[in-house]
Amino acid sequence: MALRKACMFVDEAKIFVQAGDGGDGCVSFRREKFIPRGGPDGGDGGKGGDVIIVASRGIKTLIDFARRPHYRAQNGAHGSGNNRAGKAGSDLILKVPIGTVIYRENEVICDLVNEGQSVVVALGGRGGKGNAKFKSRRHPVPRFAEKGEPGESATIKLELKLIARVGIIGYPNAGKSTLLSAISNAHPKIADYPFTTIVPNLGVVRLGEDQSFVVADIPGLIADAHKGKGLGDRFLRHIERTELLVHIVDIQGYEGASPFENYKAINEELNAFNPRLLKKPQMVVANKMDIPLSPTKLRDFRSRIRKKVYPISALTGEGVKELLYAIGRKLEK
């Protein structure tokens, strides 16, 4: 039996939505035996369905919208005789992940950050009035009715920003995924080559019975990432919602650069993408302390960075517990 493929992580999609048209009003006259002057009895048309986007915990990616970009709500039914109004068209409900930002004409119309939060992105057309509504002393026998109004249409951009209180950042192979797997329920792919992690990973960290928080491992950060190098700036947006950044530095260095140079380069990328990211609280973590000569490299790194550094080994667990409780105390503040 073939295995089902894992769902791809897609965090951007552009879709076209069309609300339902309103139904036409009816031109009709009452005709019954022994009632020579029945009069107009045409009913109104039904309202067209709206297009509504709702945030749902059950949806994790925007892949369905990337694969299917066109959506249309149901039209309202036409009115009929005997003053029968047409049935309203059913609304079209589109479920998106929590954390989805909705753009229309490059303007944000809603940021869906809570379960069940919704927004109407296209209004259904109003149904037309039947000829019974136009009867008056001046027009006792109206032979006309209104057409239903067309529903709204729009091109909508969906952009997912993960909701996590803590974001783990750093160069490839710094140990971000290893740390995430050690402290949470996440099971990210781990391997010794660049860009093992190609999508953000989320994990829940529990500190005792009273405190828990969501951590995100943000992939693809290298020098010039904001210009599209490596995995580009595609995942930098996921850092924007975090309250605290945990900056993992490979104390052995990366691709010939020193730990301090790597630390500085990542912060420059954050600043280039959005200067407000540097204003977030940031904890610096020196990883791979289990490798020989790491204490010497740590002393040099600390002398250059001149701020608190948490030494750990994500592989052996050394210092990880102390780091977790420090993160917990920081979040409480």
Give residue-wise pLDDT tens across range 41-52: 999 999 999 999
Check pLDDT > 50 for residue 191.
Answer: no
Check pLDDT > 80 for residue 131.
Answer: yes
Check pLDDT > 70 for residue 105.
Answer: yes
pLDDT at residue 60 in the model: 84
Residue 325, both tokens = 């409780």
Task: Name the pLDDT band for 231 (thresholds 50, 70, 90).
Answer: very low
Task: Name the pLDDT band for 139 (thresholds 50, 70, 90).
Answer: confident
Whole-angstrom distance, CA of residue 168 vs CA of residue 261: 18
pLDDT at residue 11 in the model: 84
Q: What number is the average pLDDT over the span 10-19?
A: 93
Q: What is 166-332's CATH number, 3.30.1330.40, 3.40.50.300, 3.40.50.2300, 3.30.420.40?
A: 3.40.50.300
Check pLDDT > 60 for residue 225.
Answer: no
**R_g of the chain, CA atoms, integer Å:** 29
Supply the mean pLDDT for the chain. Answer: 86
pLDDT at residue 316 in the model: 92
Check pLDDT > 90 for residue 144.
Answer: yes
Q: Looking at per-residue confidence, does 79 or 174 come out higher?
A: 79
The CATH fold assigned to 12-160 is Spo0b-associated Gtp-binding Protein; Chain: A, (2.70.210)
Half-sphere exposure of 88 (CA within 13 A, CB side): 10
Residues in the chain: 333
Check pLDDT > 90 for residue 93.
Answer: yes
Whole-angstrom distance, CA of residue 55 vs CA of residue 219: 25
Q: Are 259 and 251 in contact (CB under 8 A)?
A: yes
Domain boundaries, the chain: 12-160, 166-332
Q: What number is the average pLDDT over the span 289-304?
A: 94
pLDDT tens, position by position, 55-74? 998 888 898 999 999 999 99
Task: Name the pLDDT band for 8 (thresholds 50, 70, 90).
Answer: low
Q: Are 260 and 286 in contact (CB under 8 A)?
A: no
pLDDT tens, position by position, 118-127? 999 999 999 9
Strand, helix or coil at 155?
strand
Neighbours of 213 (CB within 10 A): 19
* CA–CA distances in Å: residue 21 to residues 73, 77, 256: 9, 9, 63
